[in-house]
Structure 1
Amino acid sequence: MFVLVRRVDLADVIGAALVWKASGAGARSIAARLARPVDTVRGWLRRFERRAEHICVYFTVLLVDTGVDPIPPALAPTPFAQAVSAVIGAWRAAVSRWPDIGKVSPWQAASAASGGRLLSPIWP
């Protein structure tokens, strides 16, 4: 799945914004990098931040359940960054078991794992 429900931009574009935010970038600089409206980017970041704890738990469980020799992600400085780390960690764990999953990005895999609802208020 390459898109998220009710989003025009591809999962990879939104995922890039989430990674940059986890690294400390602000909405304006992310919007400029992606050539997207700042309000759109701010909306993605706020929605993910509101759901960060739930996203982190969901993808950490997925990581542990799918990994050949799972290693949970190290603690991150913020819940937002922790959730991003869990998403990427779950993708790595899936790739360790099923190498062909590496043909898609972590954000495409996260979109598929969430049924396209990664930023949905009613998921997980």
Structure 2
Amino acid sequence: MIGIADPSQAETDLASGTLTCPSCTGPLQPWGHARARTVRDHGTTTVALRPRRARCRTCRGTHVLLPAVVAPRRADTTAVIGSALLASARGAGYRRIAAELARPLSTVRRWIRAVRDPEHVEWLRVQGVLWLARVDRDVIADLAPQPTRLGEALTALAAAAVTLRARVAPHVPPWTLIGQITRGRLVGRPVPARPG
């Protein structure tokens, strides 16, 4: 799975051969589509997806280009999950968050529990700081301290998303950029770093 912030740009890059394989860096080419699915957004809105598949011309591996507006294997958009985490970082309980988002208690509780792991929360914070270091190091010094580690992680991710949006992708929503920055693992386990 390759997370993409802008599906139309990814389609252009795929057609021109500039999108590369994460396994071998060979050029990817279009290879049909993955299964269509519908994901819940805020309120009663849904997002219909039919992600593009790509195949590497070099290693012949296939990949799904998943828009970062959604997270892998989740029934809700990154924005909905992020809103729940933000409310939790501000002190709201999972019952209140579930009621406000009109989501099952068990779903919201699972999201909140997923970010209780200190290693994952630190990984989220580091992802935000790394992206800020690439785009605008001066923003890192302006990050305000937060009362919780989750609050610090979300602040770093939000600063990175807002900075990226201002400089690189003005038409991409901030939560989608956060989905891209976290590689779809806002509430999932972090991806191990690749050697090299």
Question: Quick one: distance in 2 between partners of 1:17 and 1:102?
Answer: 24
RMSD value over aligned CA atoms? 1.7
Deviant stretches of 4+, over 4 Å? none
Kindly provide the amino acid, as one letter, of the partner of residue 7 in structure 1: R
Are the counterparts in 2 of residues 21 and 27 from structure 1 also a CA contact under 8 Å? yes
Question: Quick one: distance in 1 between partners of 2:76 and 2:145?
Answer: 29
Identity %: 37
Q: Which residue of 1 aligns with 2:124?
A: 55
State the SS of the aligned residue for 2:115.
helix
Match of 1:103 among 171, 177, 184: 171
Q: Which residue of 1 aligns with 2:191?
A: 123
Question: Which segment is superposed worse, 22-31 or 71-80?
Answer: 71-80
Match of 1:44 among 111, 114, 118: 111
Q: How many residues align?
A: 122
Are the counterparts in 2 of residues 68 and 93 from structure 1 also a CA contact under 8 Å? no
What per-residue deviation string (whole Å, max 9, x for no partner) do you get for residues 78-111 of structure 1? 101111111101112212322xx24333221111
Question: Quick one: distance in 2 between partners of 1:12 and 1:90?
Answer: 15
Deviation at 1:40, TM superposition (A): 0.5
Q: Which residue of 1 aligns with 2:159?
A: 89
Kindly provide the amino acid, as one letter, of the partner of residue 32 in structure 1: A
State the SS of the aligned residue for 1:49.
coil
Match of 1:74 among 140, 144, 151: 144
Question: Which segment is superposed worse, 69-78 or 84-93?
Answer: 69-78
Give the structure with the larger strand fraction. Answer: 2
Q: Structure 1: where are the runs of 5+ without partners?
A: none
State the SS of the aligned residue for 1:81.
helix
Deviation at 1:68, TM superposition (A): 7.1
Kindly provide the amino acid, as one letter, of the partner of residue 19 in structure 1: L
Kindly provide the amino acid, as one letter, of the partner of residue 88 in structure 1: A
Q: Which residue of 1 aligns with 2:44?
A: none
Question: Which segment is superposed worse, 51-60 or 101-110?
Answer: 101-110
Q: Which is greater in Rg?
A: 2
Q: Structure 2: where are the runs of 5+ without partners?
A: 1-67
Match of 2:82 among 12, 15, 20: 15
